[in-house]
Amino acid sequence: MTAIDEPRLGRTQRTRLFWRRALIALSPHNLRNSEPALTVLCAPLGAAVGLLVVALHALVTWMHAKDFGLSYGDFLSTGIGIDHDLLLIVPAVGGLLLGLITYIGRRRRLRDIVDPVEANAIYGGRMSLLDSLRLALATLISNAAGASVGMEAAYTQMGSGMLSAAGQALRLRRTDLRVFVGAGSAAAIAAAFNAPLAGAFYAYELVLGSYAPAALAQVAMASLTGTLVMRATLGIAPIYLIGAPPIAVEHWEYPLFGLVGVLAAGLGIGTMKLVTWSEAALKRLPTPDWMRPAIGGLVLSGLALVYPQVLGSGHGGIQGLFELTPGLLIVAGLLIAKTLASALSIGSGFRGGLFSSSLFMGCLFGATFVESLALVAPMVIQHRSEFMLVGMGAVAASIVGAPLTMVLLVLEGTGDFSVALGVLAGVVTAATITRYTFGYSFSTWRFHQRGVSIRGAHDIGWVADLTVGKMMRADTLAVPEGTPLLRLREMVPLGSRGLAFAIDDKGRYAGLIDITVAHDPELDDAATGLVAGDLASDRQLFLLPGQDVRSALQRFAEAEMEALPVLSDPVDCHVVGFLSEAYALRRYTEQLERQRSAELGERDLFSVRPPAKFEGQ
């Protein structure tokens, strides 16, 4: 039916034609080939993530009210209204429940959960929605039990998992699927903190690893719609209300903000190492692994008897610090207790992250810094809020590892942009020192502890996918090592191929034969007494099909050979193919160019175009 015929159609026929065209446009094939369509699709998906975050937040609030005797809507980390009898029981019971669930999962040999950063770095954005639900449940139990961790791990896991599942259903390309994972995490953080810019930059810095132009629209769309859903349900006010606006920042404060960043880096690095130390200490106890969360819950209850604000993520505690002005001993003691509680919670096996906890620790650190400084320079106490905001961003940037995200989060989360430069100074200082002295954020530090060698979300998974088995040529020439040299010369004329591979009587690789050497005239006199095995060399130099391209190139460099055989395995040693260094390097370079083109949003960035013709040619 042509466009000219459409006006002659009836209303029913035009309606059917409209829906038919809409369904064709929404087909997986058309969607995966249209960046604008993927951007539009991120809007409802981001809204769904925002709605899920709101629902999980409401569920955690309700569970805190039931588990600790709070009034509904009150934050656990305010430390107000907690039933002390429940305080002694709930963390340990919650830890025991979580430990048993983990134990059952290990008995059933459930696979490890892949988080968004790992998925984008290694697996091309592929995540399991079922595994994401498992992590969300474990994080929910941990938070309901009062563990000193945040829900952000569950939010980003579910958001990224949802969009990854949608992308896999649409059979998106590797690059587009990675962007979808970033968009899901952006929507989650934006909805959790009412901060669309921070949500978007969280995706860029942590989940994508770059500010790729191709990802801008999709990530921003998901972050925006996630925030709008949150504001439609919970209101448009910032999540932290700092009361009276801070007074104007003065020039003499900036060196102090830099000093806050230096000390915040030390606190952040110490906290990350403390998690590892507490985990190692608990593993040395003569108790089953599944008991560790319960033991951690008991110790957490002991800390909470003195400092109940250590429970939960810290949202209420931050608000309380802005509303009240506790003295130096109180904030310093609470800072130590919160740091210990967070490290103990994660080290003992509670699930969650340090995102919110690092914000609370930073706020406490800023308050401790300004209260200490006020002992010798009382006038600085007027700037208490500024130092708390700078400390909040600096410690969080050191631990979480996303400096611009933290700057935007502090500013959007409080609605105060008057201290933007001060927060930036502290955050950049803390992030830079952490990077050059420690080299990890908390997520990459945990990867390092597990033996996963990634430093961020940059896509390195394609290296593992480009294997020797995929690049090798199978048209090998294998000759028994007892083959006479004269017969070998007849079988392989000079110039027909460069290499042959000697094999023993059991078909195993016995060495590499250079065909030019086999035809060397200097061997003519002794040729009748020589066999193929006499010319075979470098028996220990070979490749395996499962090796990636980078390992293969390193092997070529070590062997100083232009081509190597590919063996089935190191035991059977059957020749299954061969690979040249030139071809491996070519494939590696092509893939690097393809990855860079995809990051920049240019499909043909490195393509060779015909030269332009001059007028008159």
Q: How far apart are CA 500 and CA 536, in angstroms?
A: 9
pLDDT of residue 596: 67
503 and 575 Cβ atoms separated by less than 8 Å: yes
Q: How far apart are CA 84 and CA 236, in angstroms?
A: 34
Closest CA to 257 of 389, 411, 412: 389
3-class DSSP state of 543: strand
Q: Is the pLDDT of residue 29 over 60?
A: no
**Residue 582: how many other CB atoms lie within 10 Å:** 11
81 and 70 Cβ atoms separated by less than 8 Å: yes
- Mean pLDDT, the chain, rounded, equals 85
Question: What is the b/e burial string over 529-556, where b = at least 16 CB atoms within 10 angstroms of the residue's CB?
Answer: eebbbbbbeeeebbbbbebbbebbeebb
Name the phi and psi angles at 470, rounded to 5: -80, -25
Two structure tokens written together for 396: 């969080």
Give Cα 251 distance to the centre of its chain.
38
Strand partners, 107: none
Question: What is the b/e burial string over 234-270, where b = at least 16 CB atoms within 10 angstroms of the residue's CB?
Answer: eeeebbbebeeebeebeeebeebbbebbebbbbbbbe
Q: Is the pLDDT of residue 617 over 70?
A: no
Strand partners, 514: 499
For tokens 């769904």, name the residue: 48
135 and 350 Cβ atoms separated by less than 8 Å: no
Q: How far apart are CA 63 and CA 55, in angstroms?
A: 12
If pLDDT is split at 50, 70 and 90, which confidence band does 240 have? confident
Q: How far apart are CA 137 and CA 67, in angstroms?
A: 17
Q: How far apart are CA 548 and CA 587, in angstroms?
A: 12
365 and 267 Cβ atoms separated by less than 8 Å: yes
Cα 336 to Cα 332, 340, 342: the distances in Å are: 6, 6, 10
Per-residue pLDDT reduced to its tens digit, 120-147: 888 888 999 999 999 999 999 999 999 9
3-class DSSP state of 103: helix
If pLDDT is split at 50, 70 and 90, which confidence band does 399 have? very high
Task: Please compute the mean of the pLDDT values over residues 497-512 and round it to a whole number.
Answer: 83
Give Cα 549 distance to the centre of its chain.
23
Q: How far apart are CA 90 and CA 591, in angstroms?
A: 53
68 and 310 Cβ atoms separated by less than 8 Å: no
pLDDT of residue 601: 60
Q: Is the pLDDT of residue 392 over 80?
A: yes
Q: Is the pLDDT of residue 8 over 50?
A: yes
Q: Is the pLDDT of residue 614 over 60?
A: no
Q: Which residues contact 53 (CB under 8 A, 6 or more apart)?
A: 155, 159, 187, 188, 191, 192, 226, 230
If pLDDT is split at 50, 70 and 90, which confidence band does 483 have? confident
Q: What type of residue is 480?
A: P
3-class DSSP string for 565-611: EEECCCCCCCEEEEEEHHHHHHHHHHHHHHHHHHHHCCCCCCCCCCC
264 and 426 Cβ atoms separated by less than 8 Å: yes
Q: Is the pLDDT of residue 482 over 60?
A: yes
Q: How far apart are CA 399 and CA 346, in angstroms?
A: 14
Radius of gyration, alpha carbons of the chain? 31
DSSP letters for 309-344: GGSSSSHHHHHHHHH----HHHHHHHHHHHHHHHHH
Q: Is the pLDDT of residue 397 over 80?
A: yes
Q: How far apart are CA 546 and CA 569, in angstroms?
A: 9
Per-residue pLDDT reduced to its tens digit, 405-417: 999 998 888 877 7
Per-residue pLDDT reduced to its tens digit, 575-596: 888 888 888 888 888 777 776 6
Going through 10-136 in order, the beta strands assigned E by DSSP cover none
Per-residue pLDDT reduced to its tens digit, 47-98: 999 999 999 999 999 999 999 988 887 888 888 889 888 999 999 999 999 9
Q: How far apart are CA 96 and CA 6, in angstroms?
A: 67
| DSSP conformational letter for 207 | I
Angle at 358 (CA atoms; ends 352, 363), nearest 5 degrees = 145
Q: How far apart are CA 515 and CA 496, in angstroms?
A: 9
If pLDDT is split at 50, 70 and 90, which confidence band does 466 have? confident
Q: Which residue would you say has higher pLDDT here, 237 or 576?
A: 576
If pLDDT is split at 50, 70 and 90, which confidence band does 616 have? very low
Q: What is the dihedral of CA 376, 379, 380, 381, to 10 degrees?
A: 100
Two structure tokens written together for 443: 């997520």
Task: Please compute the mean of the pLDDT values over residues 433-450 and round it to a whole number.
Answer: 87
Q: Which residues contact 231 (CB under 8 A, 6 or more apart)?
A: 194
Per-residue pLDDT reduced to its tens digit, 268-322: 999 999 999 999 999 898 889 899 999 999 999 999 999 999 998 888 888 888 8
Angle at 340 (CA atoms; ends 335, 341), nearest 5 degrees = 95
Per-residue pLDDT reduced to its tens digit, 536-567: 887 888 888 888 888 888 888 888 788 888 88
If pLDDT is split at 50, 70 and 90, which confidence band does 1 have? very low
pLDDT of residue 575: 85
pTM score: 0.81
pLDDT of residue 589: 82
Closest CA to 239 of 164, 314, 148: 314
Name the phi and psi angles at 54, rounded to 5: -60, -40
Q: What type of residue is 147?
A: A
Q: Is the pLDDT of residue 456 over 60?
A: yes
- Expressed in percent and rounded to 5, the helix, strand and coil fractions of the chain are 65, 5, 30
Task: Please compute the mean of the pLDDT values over residues 186-193 and round it to a whole number.
Answer: 94
pLDDT of residue 110: 77
Q: How far apart are CA 564 and CA 116, in angstroms?
A: 37
Q: Is the pLDDT of residue 437 over 50?
A: yes
Task: Please compute the mean of the pLDDT values over residues 93-118 and round it to a whole number.
Answer: 87
Per-residue pLDDT reduced to its tens digit, 307-345: 999 998 888 888 888 888 888 999 999 999 999 999 999
Q: What type of residue is 89?
A: I
If pLDDT is split at 50, 70 and 90, which confidence band does 159 have? very high
Closest CA to 488 of 453, 522, 513: 513
For tokens 């606006």, name the residue: 245
Q: What structural domains and CATH numbers belong to the chain?
A: 1-26 (no CATH), 27-234 (no CATH), 253-459 (1.10.3080.10), 464-600 (3.10.580.10)
